[in-house]
Amino acid sequence: MAEIVYPPVVLAAKTMFRVLDNRLRVTGTEHIPRTGGAVIACNHVSYLDFIFCGLGAQPSRRLVRFMAKKQIFDHGIAGPLMRGMHHIPVDRSAGRASYDEAVARLRAGEVVGVFPEATISRSFTVKPIKSGAVRMAADAGVPVLPMSLWGTQRLWTKGRPRTLTKRHVPIHIHAGEPFHPGPDDDPEVLSEQLRARMSAILDDLQTGYPDGPAGEDDRWWLPAHLGGTAPTPEEAAALDDER
C-alpha cells in the first residue's frame, strides 16, 4: 500500500522532539523483525504513546499499524491522519471485524501495535491486560514483542493538562525479546506472562530514568511505589470503575 502520510508524520514528530530536546532513548530495537508480521504490545501511560511506540520500531524501518478506537477515526483532524497511516479502527460494538483485520495485516507481513491494557493506566503501572494481543499473534503465526515506555505521561496523560511544549523531558522506550504464542497455548496464561514482561521492562525504565520531580507538587508523574502521588493500582481501578 502507498505510504503518502506516514513518513511525513514520523518526520514531523522527530523534528518536534528534537526542537523540544525530549531526549528520546530507544533500546531493544534488535528484537523487532525487519520483515514479516509481529505484534507489539505496549504499556499505556499517555495519550501520545502510539507516537512513541511507533518510533520504537523506526530503527528496524517498520511502520506500525495501531489498533485504536473508532472515535479517533471519526475526528475531523485525527481521522484523515489515522486512515492515511492505515491504522486499524476498533468498533467495540463490532470488535470481531477489527480483530480479523489485524490478523489479516499480520499474515500479510505487517507490524500491528496494541495497548493491551485498553486504557491509560492512572497508576503508571501495568494494568491487567486483555488477551487479544496473544490470540491474534497465535492466529497469524507471528511473534509478540513486549514493549514499555516511560516519560510520556509528563506531556499528556489522563486527568492532567497537556504540556506538549514542555522541554527536556526524557522519554525512554524499550522493546523486549519476542515470544511465539502457539494455537494450543492458553491465551490467559500467555497474557499474564506478557504482562509480567511488560512490567519488568517498565520497572527497569523507571529505575534507570535520569530525571526526578522538581518539587513536591511535581511528584504526580511517579507511581506510588516509587514515592509518587499517582493513585495506587487499586485506587486507579476504582477511579476507572466510577467512569
pLDDT tens readout for residues 92-144: 777 799 999 999 999 999 999 999 999 999 999 999 999 999 999 999 999 99
- Say which DSSP state 13 is in: H
Q: What is the pLDDT of residue 2?
A: 82
Query: Quick one: pLDDT at residue 119?
Result: 94
Q: Which residues contact 202 (CB under 8 A, 6 or more apart)?
A: 43, 125, 126, 148, 150
**Which grid coordinates belong to 234?**
487499586
pTM score above 0.75:
yes
pLDDT tens for the chain, 243 residues long, are: 789 999 999 999 999 989 999 999 999 999 999 999 999 999 999 999 999 999 999 999 999 999 999 999 999 999 999 999 999 999 877 779 999 999 999 999 999 999 999 999 999 999 999 999 999 999 999 999 999 999 999 999 999 999 989 999 999 999 999 999 999 999 999 999 999 999 999 999 999 999 999 999 999 999 999 999 999 999 999 999 987
pLDDT at 216: 95
Q: Which three cell numbers stand for residue 40?
A: 507489539
The single-letter DSSP state of residue 220 is G
Task: State the burial class of residue 92 (Cβ atoms within 10 Å of its Cβ: 0-12, 13-18, 19+).
Answer: exposed
The architecture of the domain spanning 24-215 is 3-Layer(aba) Sandwich (3.40)
Kind plus residue range of the DSSP H or E element containing 39: strand 38-42
Which residues make beta-bridge pairs with 68? 89
- The CA–CA distances, whole Å, from 199 to 10, 27, 195 equal 27, 16, 6
Q: What residues does each domain of the chain span? A: 24-215
- Give the β-pairing of 171-175 and 144-150: antiparallel
Phi, psi of 12 (to 5 degrees): -65, -40
pLDDT digits (tens, 9 = 90+) for 55-73: 999 999 999 999 999 999 9
Q: How far is CA 28 from CA 69, 116, 162, 184, 201, in A?
A: 28, 20, 29, 28, 10
